[in-house]
């Protein structure tokens, strides 16, 4: 049984040397999407998530919506344990995998093959388990001999193919995705859709942040709206706005 629960979770981070005119503070507020809570000297604290609470269980598929900077990525990274709340509690039960930004966890100086092993180890695999993923990743990415070359020689599309293939090579109980379908050519997007459908059907909890309301309607049963770090559940009718 998988479970992902937030209990009054608040996440803050500092912004240095941002004190200045009210106009500058307003621009900062818009760009971060958070709330400027306090300042000491030249340090301002931005509250990216404020007293967020929810409970997800087996069968939940959640779509995250909100403007750029509303806190969607912060929420996903807090779910994944990358960010630590300053208050509240995060309860995560079950294996977890993420599909976040292009190149996350990769070493640009290593080859594609070496990065497969590296990322596998970061995901908790043994070297043998990571190596066993190579044939599937070779077939899915269609990178051929480029897998023998350093990742720094890859285009962004090639890097995304490798990262996406690796991130979706396991069957987690909890799957977190941050806006991945809008990247790559049409052929890859079709393959990514097919792969994601299979992965989503096998996961117990699925959370997807996206600006594509069509994809959110297709994949998600529940919709969470983030506004300036606060969260509330809304109906699918919010996707028609």
Q: Which residue has the tokens 């070779």?
A: 138
In this predicted structure, the answer to whether residue 127 has a pLDDT above a threshold of 50 is: yes
pLDDT of res. 35: 58
pLDDT of res. 21: 47
Stretch 6-12: mean pLDDT: 95
Q: Which residue has the tokens 């994949």?
A: 219
Pick the range with the lowest mean pLDDT from 25-34, 126-135, 140-149. Answer: 25-34
Measured distance CA(98)–CA(221) in Å, rounded:
19
**pLDDT per position as a tens digit, 64-121:** 999 887 889 899 999 999 899 999 999 999 988 887 765 667 899 999 999 999 988 8
Write down the architecture of domain 3-95+213-240 according to CATH: 3-Layer(aba) Sandwich (3.40)
Domain boundaries, the chain: 3-95+213-240
Q: What is the DSSP string of 22-83?
A: HHHHHHHHHHH-SEEEEEETTEEEEEEEEEEEEEEETTEEEEEE-STTSSHHHHHHHHTTSS
**pLDDT per position as a tens digit, 198-216:** 888 888 999 999 888 888 9
**Structure confidence at residue 36 as a pLDDT band (50, 70, 90):** low
């Amino acid at each position: 049984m998988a479970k992902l629960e937030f209990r009054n979770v608040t996440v803050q981070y500092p912004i240095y040397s941002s004190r200045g005119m009210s106009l500058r503070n307003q621009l900062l507020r818009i760009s971060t999407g958070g709330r400027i809570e306090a300042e000491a000297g030249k340090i301002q604290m931005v509250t990216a998530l404020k007293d967020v609470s929810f409970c997800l269980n087996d069968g939940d598929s959640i779509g995250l919506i909100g403007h750029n900077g509303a806190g969607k990525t912060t929420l996903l990274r807090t779910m994944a344990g990358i960010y630590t709340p300053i208050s509240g509690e995060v309860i995560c039960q079950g294996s977890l995998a993420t599909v976040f930004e292009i190149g996350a966890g990769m070493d640009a100086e290593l080859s594609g093959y070496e990065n497969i092993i590296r990322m596998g180890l970061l995901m908790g695999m043994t070297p043998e388990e990571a190596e066993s993923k190579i044939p599937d990743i070779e077939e899915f990415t269609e990178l051929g001999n480029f897998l023998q070359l350093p990742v720094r020689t890859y285009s962004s599309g090639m890097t995304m193919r490798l990262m996406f293939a690796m991130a979706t090579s396991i069957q987690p109980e909890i799957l977190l995705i941050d806006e991945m379908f809008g990247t790559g050519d049409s052929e890859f997007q079709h393959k990514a859709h097919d792969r994601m459908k299979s992965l989503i059907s096998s996961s117990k909890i699925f959370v997807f942040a996206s600006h594509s309301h069509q994809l959110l309607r297709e994949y998600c049963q529940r919709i969470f709206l983030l506004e300036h770090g606060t969260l509330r559940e809304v109906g699918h009718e919010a996707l028609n706005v």
